[in-house]
Structure 1
Amino acid sequence: MATRIRSLAPVAMPVIALIAVVATYHRSLPTAVAILVGAVLIGAVLAAVHHAEVVAHRVGEPLGSIVLAVAVTVIEVGLIITLMAAGGHNSETLARDTAFAAVMITCNGIVGLSLLLGSLRHGLPRFNREGTGAALSVVATLAVLTLVLPRFTTSASGGRFTGVQLAFIAVAALALWLVFVSTQTGRHRDFFLPVSVSTDKPGDPDGADDHATPPSNRATVISLVLLVVSLLSVVQLGHAVQPNIESGLEAAGIPSTFVGVVIAFIVLLPEGIAASRAALGNRLQTSLNLGYGSAIASIGLTIPAIAVASIWLEGPLELGLGPVQIVLLGVTLLVSTLTVAPGRSTRLQGMIHLIILAAFVFLAISP
């Protein structure tokens, strides 16, 4: 019975989410109803990434990791633009808070948990330093250009870019993402394949491809349709529960900027689950592809989309991080560099990243 429910849930959740969208459209929600809608929203996110995984399985690795990262980013961008359009206490910093939270969660949460689980299960799992190092360098460049640089420019104050600066950064971010995707799927595709697949000899059990048979074209098309329904539902449901989230944070004495962290945790939860499963299955490279790929997409696609949306969105757009956030980002990039350099994982490395994530969450709640 439980197995049947799990098999039906990915199909049922998009439909339930669509019904919830119709029922909550332009309505103020009581707390109990908002909690229920929030649960449906999380279910829709999980369903969206499940169907993205089906499509990703069809196209194969590493393109599959890109499909998952883009699906998550579409949810993230949709929620940010919807909530910014609705206004609120932190609308001008929402894009910054969400993008920074996504970097911290992916580079420390997803990567750290994957390193820890992989090391606990498989001892000293290995990954490709070339591909992982390249991904990390793109993350570092995007994060500094989009989130650190505006704090030090002088043409505009308060951590903001001028219109021309924002346009340049948006184009640069999108170009970096496109070049990275081209590298990951083109001539250097082998840099992003699991070590066991790309280097082990045929017949090696550790290098065996233990994936299930790819889905049929019909199943892929159905998942693609349900993926679109889920994505649209998530965006609208996020807008519906926004006032309840803000009032709940205010009642708990938590800064309103924590909304960005909540959004990032919701949209990256399925990525974390997928990366953890890959690490437990001795496919640490896939986990790192998911983690760093999501960080790259979160900045490389989100910032250009927000830059375009800012043309018609009211109010300023603040992207520059504060001093504490810059310190946390610097520590993350330094530790990540030391983590990637050896090309193998230990439990210590995983725990260090998770401690940095814990510090980020704690300081976001109590700045």
Structure 2
Amino acid sequence: MSSTDVRGPFQWTVAVPLATVVLLAATWANHEHWLVLVLIALGLVGGIIAAVHHAEVVAHRVGEPFGSLILAVAVTVIEVGLIVMLMTSGGDGASTYARDTVFAAVMITLNGIVGISLLVGALKHHLVSFNPSGTGSALTTVVALASLTLVLPSFTTSGAGLEYSPSQLAFAAVASLVLYAGFVFTQTVRHRDFFVPVSSDEYGSMTGLLGDEDGDGHADPPSGREAWLSLGLLTAALVSVVGLAKLLSPTIEDAVRSLGFPYAVVGVVIALLVLAPESISAIRNARRDRVQTSLNLGYGSAMASIGLTIPTIAIASIWLDGPLVLGLEPTQMVLLAITVVVSVLTVAQGRAKAQQGVIHLTLLAAFLFLSVKP
């Protein structure tokens, strides 16, 4: 049976989304017992994995680069739902959840997903190749988005502290949507060929496009019926994930507080949880020498995390009480700056060795360590 087959009532890909919906309905009114919280946590993880699986099924049906786009948007919907649910629950860290989660997603994608993809691909294939034109434009868009939404609030004077004023937040939200929409048009319409996997010679130099979808180790594309079924199950999984996250959010905050960690760790936990299945997808593509697809996933997720999350949070802030802190702290800005410089040097070559992957993963480790011990 192919990896994208969702037929049959006993397939986990069908059972898990339906089970999470039932779990959400059954525990919505009463979820204080520790055993119920364990079931909710397991359901949340299962729902996320199922959601990403069904996004991949739909993505496989439509092909690249639309597939990476669908997967990135699906993951971002989960992320936005988790952020909004945590912010509505209140708590001392509610004002910074959006910033901490988005920044964590950027660092995990630019260093984690990209780093592990380059390392795995290069260890197996010696050198990996990708199109620097497409990947470079994706990285540029991510840098612009991060600068507008996470860096500038630390230097403006109209808002209090590290916040944007209402008009500045509205501008940043619109600018984020424009940048994201512009990139999507470039990726899917204007220059689609810049984002499809490439072939390479023995020196890792790009020689052409990999256009044979059926000859690269993939399962056959799913039928239209399977794709529509996955779309429905994807919707069910997303709804259940957001609801279960709402029920589990007080427990996450209590755990972080009891361990004595900074509230920023909550954002890191959310980002790691949401992006873990997508990281697996990127690793699978890297092993098949399709690093371009892995980079599409990484940079696309970073882009969607900012370009879709910030406008949504900006709208939600109209109804949410309390401040919305978006500006990065000095240590975070330094980590972001180092990541941008390293990413530019990695992308500019159009090919990479395992060392580039090690460098990115080291930066990710530094980010994780300094999040716990700032």
The answer, yes or no, to whether TM exceeds 0.5 is: yes
Determine if the alignment matches structure 1 residue 281 to structure 2 residue 288.
yes
Mapped to 2, the partners of 1:153 and 1:357 lie a distance apart of: 28
Worse-matched range after superposition: 35-44 or 347-356: 35-44
Partner of 2:340: 333
- Counterparts of 1:326 and 1:356, CA distance in 2: 13
Give the letter aligned to residue 81 of structure 1: V
1:238-286 superposed Cα distances (whole Å, 9 cap, x missing partner)? 1111111111111111122211111111111111010000000110000
CA deviations 1:148-175 (Å, max 9, x no partner) are 1000000012110011000000000000
Which residue of structure 1 lines up, in the alignment, with residue 91 of structure 2? 88
- Distance in 2 between the 1:74 and 1:202 partners? 30
| Structure-2 separation of matches of 1:26 and 1:199 | 59
Distance across 1 between alignment mates of 2:96 and 2:284:
33
Q: Is the 8 A contact 1:119 1:345 kept in 2?
A: yes
- 1: distance between equivalents of 2:199 and 2:316? 43
Matched, 1:364 2:371: yes
Query: Which one of the candidate residues 301, 311, 317 is aligned to 1:310?
Result: 317
- Distance in 2, matches of 1:92 and 1:181, equals 30
CA drift at 1:207 = 11
2:272 pairs with one of 250, 265, 278: 265
Matched, 1:182 2:185: yes
Match among 145, 156, 168 for residue 153 of structure 1: 156
CA distance in 1, matches of 2:260, 2:70: 38
Query: Is 1:211 aligned with 2:218?
Result: yes
Deviations 1:186-214 (A, max 9, x none): 121111111129953899x9994433221
Question: Is 1:200 aligned to residue 203 of structure 2?
Answer: no
Q: Given the alignment, which residue of 320, 341, 349 partners 1:342? A: 349
Q: Does 1:103 align with 2:106?
A: yes
The residue type paired with residue 342 of structure 1 is Q
1:20 corresponds to 2:20: no
Q: Which residue of 2 aligns with 1:228?
A: 235
- Secondary structure at the aligned position of 2:128 is classed as coil
**Residue equivalent to 2:75:** 72
2:58 alignment partner in structure 1: 55
| Of 132, 136, 141, the match for 1:129 | 132
Give the TM-score of the pair, scaled to structure 2. Answer: 0.93
Indicate how the Cα distance of structure 1 residues 35 and 255 shifts in structure 2: closer, same or farther if over 3 A, else same: farther
Please name the residue that 2:203 is paired with.
none
Q: Distance in 1 between matches of 2:166 and 2:232?
A: 37
5+ long unaligned stretches in structure 1: none
TM-score by length of 1: 0.95
Asked if structure 2 preserves the Cα contact closer than 8 Å seen for 1:18 and 1:233, the reply is yes
Q: Deviations over 1:317-350 (max 9, x none)?
A: 1100000000000011010001111111111110
Residue 321 in structure 1 maps to residue 328 in structure 2: yes
The residue type paired with residue 133 of structure 2 is: E
**Residues 53 and 334 (structure 1), Cα distance of their counterparts in 2 relative to 1, 3 Å cut:** same
Q: Percent identity?
A: 57
Deviation at 1:140, TM superposition (A): 0.5
Letter in 2 for 1:73: T
CA distance in 1 between partners of 2:358 and 2:209 (Å): 32
Shift of residue 29, structure 1, vs aligned partner: 2.4
Q: Which residue of 2 aligns with 1:293?
A: 300
1:52 touches 1:227 (CA, 8 Å); kept in 2?
yes
The 1:87–1:366 alpha-carbon spacing in structure 2 relative to 1, beyond 3 Å, is same
Q: What's the Cα RMSD here?
A: 2.2
CA distance in 1, matches of 2:320, 2:258: 28
1:152, 1:30 → 2: CA distance? Answer: 45
Amino acid at match of 2:208: D
State the 4+ residue runs in structure 1 displaced beyond 4 angstroms: 205-208
Q: How many residues align?
A: 364
Aligned counterparts of 2:310 and 2:108: Cα–Cα separation in 1: 17
- Residue 46 of structure 1: which of 44, 49, 56 is its match? 49
Q: Quick check: 1:164 aligned with 2:164? A: no
CA distance in 1, matches of 2:183, 2:315: 22
What letter corresponds to residue 318 of structure 2 in structure 1? I
Between the aligned partners of 2:147 and 2:327, the Cα distance in structure 1 is 10
